[in-house]
Structure 1
Amino acid sequence: MTAQAAHRSRFFLVSGWAMVALALVSFPFTYFGPMADGSRRFYGLLHIHGLLCFAWLLLYAWQVQLAAQRKVARHREWGIAGAWLTGAVLFTGVPMIPAAAMRRIAAGAPEPFLFSGYNMVDLGLFAVMSSLALLTASRHLEWHRRFMLGAAVALFVAAASRLFIALPRVPFWSDVGSALIGDAVLVALALHDRRRHGRVHPASWLLLLVMVPAHLLSDALGRSALVAGSIGPALVDMMAIAPPDPPPQ
């Protein structure tokens, strides 16, 4: 690997592994700790979806590592597994939104569909960016790697939100703090482009213009009549199962 290639790939390599590390440290207080204490508030779909999401982030960082080492053949081989894993994340993520809302309703949460807005935005951004990454994988590598980073940021934001749940609540920051950290990665990408190429890559502009406003509007979406009064209840009604018992206090 040449020094130029190593420098060119360092931003994606460092940001990829940093997101994996931050996602991992976001779970001890809201998942691993309660699990060790015998909490019964977790259920099968949540375990599976969480494992798939972390596996996707880990595979993304590993893929960037392979690209940085110029192991193109292995990178492409693992890319096939990544495509299947993307489908599994989406397949389990869609029913997770109404399932989580149902549990909040059963627990008597005052705004049970607030987090549904965040979940819809994160999952939607992940679906769009991973699809664009797949479409550009063969002939537009610079677009591909940026769309993959966008998909990783979408998953990272959802994972890192657990860290803010565990911390003392601060209005606004507790709700959108993880999204702001994810958006900071996108801003850093634009600065990286500017420093390395003298201009911001069009794909980086697209990420900024789509993902940052979506993150900032996710709070309003969750509180809106569209989600709280229409989409959210409709999704819950489509889950042809009774609401679960509220989690033990």
Structure 2
Amino acid sequence: MATVAPLTALAPEPTRSRGRPSTMFVWLSALCLLIAVIGFIPTYWAQIAQNTFRGTPLIHLHAIVFTAWPLLLVSQSVLIARGGLRHHRAWGLAGIVLATTMFLVGLATAVVGMEHRIAQGYGDLGRHFLVVPFAAIGGFYGFFIAAIANINRSEWHKRFIIVATASVLQAAMARFFFYAAHGMAAGQRPDSFPPAPVAASLLPIFTLDLIIVGGAVIDWRRGGKVHPAWLWGLGILVPVQLLRVPLSQTDAWMAFADWLTRFT
């Protein structure tokens, strides 16, 4: 597929030599948006509507920027699919600002969340679990940078954007597993329970990897081969996802987690 590039300010005019624009990236972007929004309805959006949510301004900022990203992703994909390259480029600059904001807000929220867990009496569990959001944010921004570095190679660029987005949806996907385990009682949130072990985060994460696998399968079915960007995404993300479990148990990680608390 050569005609849809999600977020870029300077992407070249997409080729239309193979017929009308494909909508694969529109559908992948829409799937990411659905996961991001639906995953947080019971524990955030519904509680906001009912005026039962209690959280800091940082939590609300986190919700805004992490919802804005998949919304922008969908709009950018649709713009390219409809030939709106000029507007796509202009909004791509906003995407760079938004991604950087997400990186900073995501790290700050993760550290504050760990401190909240420590205050609840879950000291080591809270420190261990910090590796999960840190890995998610790191994967997102790493592949976002890769997408920007490939801004003039749209086939790489747009796939790296999807890989980056799949990486950062871990909290939203984990909510579905949380609801399956604990239900959706009014006012219930994950911090009402002890922190989950890091190994429990693997199933939601591997579920999100299916977005990348799906993109690779679509490429293969349509063109007879898998684009290397998907393989790079899985080849980097999966080992990192597996290594977070032993890493979270090391003295070095615990010391790093304690060091981070000095900045809040």
* TM-score interval, smaller chain: 0.7 to 0.9
Aligned to 1:69, which of 82, 103, 106?
82
Alignment of 1:38 onto 2:52? yes
1:97 and 1:119 in contact (8 A); partners too: yes
Alpha-carbon distance between aligned partners in 2 of 1:171 and 1:107, rounded to the nearest angstrom:
16
Query: What is the aligned partner in structure 2 of residue 233 from structure 1?
Result: 258
156-165 or 21-30: bigger deviation: 156-165
Query: What is the aligned partner in structure 2 of residue 184 from structure 1?
Result: 210
**Taking every aligned residue pair, what percent have the same amino acid on both sides?**
26
1:186 and 1:204 in contact (8 A); partners too: yes
Alignment of 1:119 onto 2:133? yes
Alpha-carbon distance between aligned partners in 2 of 1:218 and 1:12, rounded to the nearest angstrom:
29
Amino acid in structure 1 at the alignment position of 2:257:
G
Superposition TM-score, scaled by structure 2 size: 0.80
Amino acid in structure 1 at the alignment position of 2:204:
S
How far off is 1:145 after superposition?
0.4
Unaligned runs of 5+ residues in structure 2 are 4-15, 183-195
How far off is 1:30 after superposition?
1.9
1:164 and 1:174 in contact (8 A); partners too: no
Aligned to 2:27, which of 14, 19, 30?
14
Unaligned runs of 5+ residues in structure 1 are 240-249
Question: What pairs with 1:49-198 in structure 2 (closer than 5 Å)?
Answer: 49-109=62-122, 111-137=125-151, 139-168=152-181, 174-198=200-224
1:134 and 1:144 in contact (8 A); partners too: yes
Q: CA 1:84–1:172 in 2, change beyond 3 Å: closer, same or farther? A: closer
Amino acid in structure 2 at the alignment position of 1:233:
D
Q: CA RMSD in A?
A: 2.4
Which structure has greater helix proportion? 1
Amino acid in structure 1 at the alignment position of 2:231:
W
Alpha-carbon distance between aligned partners in 2 of 1:5 and 1:211, rounded to the nearest angstrom:
33
Alpha-carbon distance between aligned partners in 2 of 1:64 and 1:173, rounded to the nearest angstrom:
34
SS of 2:169 mapped into structure 1 = helix
SS of 1:38 mapped into structure 2 = coil
Query: What is the aligned partner in structure 1 of residue 239 from structure 2?
Result: 213
Q: CA 1:120–1:171 in 2, change beyond 3 Å: closer, same or farther? A: closer
Q: CA 1:99–1:83 in 2, change beyond 3 Å: closer, same or farther? A: same
Structure 1 runs, 4 residues or longer, greater than 6 Å off: 169-173
Amino acid in structure 2 at the alignment position of 1:234:
W
Number of residue pairs the alignment of both structures matches: 235
1:29 and 1:163 in contact (8 A); partners too: no
